Amino acid sequence: MKFIHSADIHLGKTYRNSTGEAERYEDFFHSLSGIVEDALNEEIDFVLICGDLFHTGQILPKTFAKTIETLQPLKEAGIPCIAIEGNHDWIHRRNNISWMEALSEMGYIRLLRPDRTEDGDYRFEPFDEETGMGGHIVIEGLNIYGLGYIGAQAGSHVERICNAVTTENNLLLFHVGIWKYSPVEIGNMKIEEAHPLAEKFSYVALGHGHKPYVIETPEGTPYAYNPGAPERVNFGEEKYDKGYYFVTVEDGKFSPEFRSTDPRPMLVEAINIDGTKDADNALARFCEQVQEKLADISDKRAPLLELKLAGRVGFHPFELGRERLRLALDEFASPLHVEIKNHLSLVTRTGGEEVVKKSLAEIENDVLHELIGTHSKYKGREEELAVLSLAVRDLVLKGDIEDDELLGLFSKDV
């Protein structure tokens, strides 16, 4: 038996209102089609998607249509695509059918989700192809169980999960991180809380943390695998291996092989221009350093850049504004998306003594406080509203949030 274990595809993710929006949107479908292609070429038995197929719970209709188109070849070849929900595609509105449920009902995925009894016990009902619902599916004698994202308390549920499984030869899909290895801050459990799973399941297929890792029992037997995301989803993932597991099963023994994908190049760098006296010079040093770093990347696709400008300089940090830096970068790097953090601070010399003036962030904060404070309606709430304004500014620049979510921030806080 052969199968693919993937996770965290994040379809629908892009940088809104950025020139690279359409191209970035395609990246995530590109990584899923690569997996589908491999599945067909290798004539595997099934594909696993361990959560976060979608980047958000509410997706655009075109994202749904494109997902169907991408999964169509699997459906036609009769290769089941077994999925669970992650924290990103979690259903918030109980009375509406989720996109994942719709895909399952239409036969593009088999969405596994357990039932809970009144006492909080788990029940994995057999998957029903008519309704697209259930928690347990059998493929060639292998019992496949699916758990979505159950949040921070996952560790305390392990015993109940194991109790619900009475079969032999079991596999579990679980969207959870393991503290020791997972790079994410929420939805993790302790490694010792995970170990009892090894007694019930020969293979635990994890998803959640976007970095690959393997969990072993205290005796050193591997049993749980996290493939990470096949594309770089966020800044901070530039150094992770990207791919999925291609698993061969022989006589009940699972042998996973990590297969690499080709994610878009990403560069996260601190650019030090300490000591520069004027903005032109600083800009030249900035470009030189970025160019040097980019030369190390052999993939010539338009990169994603997160650059932090640091140093004490002899000119006003406002002179190296975002737009100016962006125009300079366009000339030699043509990045798909840029995020710039300006941490420069102005230093002046008075009588041989260096005086550190304010940083750009401090100046911005001061200006906002002053503007907000001049309006009698907002007087006294300067700090709170300045924090909100800056948070909104950062979210807009990141391009990772829908317009109505942004509006939601205001109706809640103002």
Q: In what order do the strands lie in the sheet with 304-313?
A: 266-272, 304-313, 337-350, 353-359
CB of 46 to Mn ion, least distance (A): 21
CB of 99 to Mn ion, least distance (A): 16
Q: Is 319 helix (H, G, I), strand (E, B) or coil?
A: helix
Nearer to Mn ion, 12 or 134 (CB): 12
CB of 88 to Mn ion, least distance (A): 5
CB of 52 to Mn ion, least distance (A): 4
Nearer to Mn ion, 13 or 157 (CB): 13
Q: Is 347 helix (H, G, I), strand (E, B) or coil?
A: strand
Nearer to Mn ion, 15 or 54 (CB): 54
Query: Tokens standing for 298?
Result: 């052999």
CB of 18 to Mn ion, least distance (A): 21
Should residue 85 be labelled a site residue for Mn ion when binding is judged by CB under 5 A? no
Nearer to Mn ion, 11 or 313 (CB): 11
CA dist., res. 396 & res. 341, Å (int): 14
CB of 338 to Mn ion, least distance (A): 23
Torsion sign over Cα 199, 134, 110, 148:
negative
Per-residue x/- track, 215-254, Mn ion (CB under 5 A): ----------------------------------------
Question: For the chain, how many residues are written?
Answer: 414
CA dist., res. 224 & res. 232, Å (int): 22
CB of 209 to Mn ion, least distance (A): 8
Should residue 89 be labelled a site residue for Mn ion when binding is judged by CB under 5 A? no
Using alpha carbons, list the distances in angstroms from residue 170 to 121, 140, 205, 220. Answer: 19, 12, 11, 20
Closest of 162, 164, 189, 192 to residue 178, by C-alpha: 189
Query: Do the Cβ atoms of 235 and 304 come closer than 8 Å?
Result: yes
CB of 410 to Mn ion, least distance (A): 27
Nearer to Mn ion, 8 or 364 (CB): 8
Should residue 52 be labelled a site residue for Mn ion when binding is judged by CB under 5 A? yes
CA dist., res. 337 & res. 309, Å (int): 17
Give the range of 23-31, 45-53, 244-252, 336-344 binding Mn ion by CB under 5 A: 45-53
Other Cβ atoms within 10 Å of 268 Cβ, number: 16
CB of 180 to Mn ion, least distance (A): 18
Per-residue x/- track, 6-35, Mn ion (CB under 5 A): --x---------------------------
The count of residues interacting with Mn ion (CB under 5 A) is 2
Nearer to Mn ion, 52 or 238 (CB): 52
Query: Do the Cβ atoms of 147 and 84 come closer than 8 Å?
Result: yes
CA dist., res. 180 & res. 208, Å (int): 14
Query: Do the Cβ atoms of 235 and 268 come closer than 8 Å?
Result: yes
In sequence order, the 6+-apart residues with CB closer than 8 A to the CB of 61 are: none
Give the range of 46-54, 158-166, 190-198, 212-220 binding Mn ion by CB under 5 A: 46-54
Nearer to Mn ion, 8 or 231 (CB): 8
Nearer to Mn ion, 34 or 230 (CB): 230
Per-residue x/- track, 137-176, Mn ion (CB under 5 A): ----------------------------------------
Nearer to Mn ion, 70 or 345 (CB): 70
User: Distance between alpha carbon 267 and the CA centroid of its chain, in Å?
Assistant: 16
CA end-to-end span of the chain: 57
Nearer to Mn ion, 8 or 27 (CB): 8
CB of 231 to Mn ion, least distance (A): 11
Which residues bind to Mn ion, rule: CB under 5 A? Answer: 8, 52
